[in-house]
């Protein structure tokens, strides 16, 4: 892992990318199109000039969601990866796809017209680590099995993937 490149990729590892500078303007977009792209209440994005971005493994598949906007994803695992306009040389990636995602604290909400009315209340909900609430009949053995068989690409570049 290098500290000078800002790398990321999809869950399965078929697509990897890097920025030569730290992506800027981290934000949460609540517009309905971003909600639909990521299948969530909002999309979280940070980006940079397209000159600072390159794909280092595989390729990003695209859905042209309007005349000017492109939504990028991994064709193999479906991870939402990118968002950009054809008319503007900037590319944003989904913050969750960045290896060092926790270093991107959002600085604003956009698409506020689509914000769920209860949005500001969810930060105060009870918070428990994975496995504490027994929703799916979880057991320690099951979590060990899941951990041992985890096929998610690690949060750093890899020479070979999948490893086996």
Residues at the contact surface with Zn ion, assessed by CB under 5 A: 10, 12, 14, 29, 31, 34, 74, 76-77, 111
Q: Least distance (Å) from Zn ion to the CB of residue 127?
A: 26
3-state helix, strand, coil split of the chain in percent (to 5) is: 20, 30, 50
Residue (51 or 109) nearer to Zn ion, CB = 109
Residue 73 token pair: 């994803």
Shortest Cβ 99–Zn ion spacing (Å) = 14
Closer CB to Zn ion, residue 111 or residue 131? 111
- Long-range contacts of range 103-107, CB-CB < 8 Å, 24 or more positions apart? 104/23, 104/26, 104/44, 104/46, 105/26, 106/26, 106/27, 106/28, 106/44, 107/25, 107/26, 107/27
| 131 vs 158, beta carbon nearer Zn ion | 158
Shortest Cβ 58–Zn ion spacing (Å): 8
At its nearest, how many Å lie between Zn ion and the CB of residue 87? 16
Token pair 């490149």 is found at 5
Is 155:99 a contact under the CB 8 Å cutoff? yes
> Would you say 19 or 92 has its CB closer to Zn ion?
92
């Amino acid at each position: 892992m290098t500290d000078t490149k800002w790398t990321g990729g999809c869950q399965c590892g078929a697509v990897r990318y890097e920025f030569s500078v730290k992506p800027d303007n981290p934000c949460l977009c609540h517009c309905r199109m971003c909600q639909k792209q990521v299948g969530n209440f909002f999309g979280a994005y940070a980006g940079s000039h397209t000159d600072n971005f390159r794909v280092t493994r595989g390729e990003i598949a695209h859905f042209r969601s309007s005349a000017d906007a492109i939504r990028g994803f991994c064709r193999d695992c479906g991870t939402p990866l990118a968002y950009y306009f054809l008319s503007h040389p900037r590319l944003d990636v989904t913050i969750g796809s960045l290896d060092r995602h926790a270093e991107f604290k959002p600085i604003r909400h956009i698409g506020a017209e689509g914000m769920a009315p209860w949005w500001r209340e969810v930060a105060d909900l009870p918070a428990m680590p994975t496995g504490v609430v027994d929703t799916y009949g979880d057991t320690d053995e099951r979590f060990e099995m899941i951990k041992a068989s985890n096929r998610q690409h690690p949060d750093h570049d890899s020479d070979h993937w999948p490893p086996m």
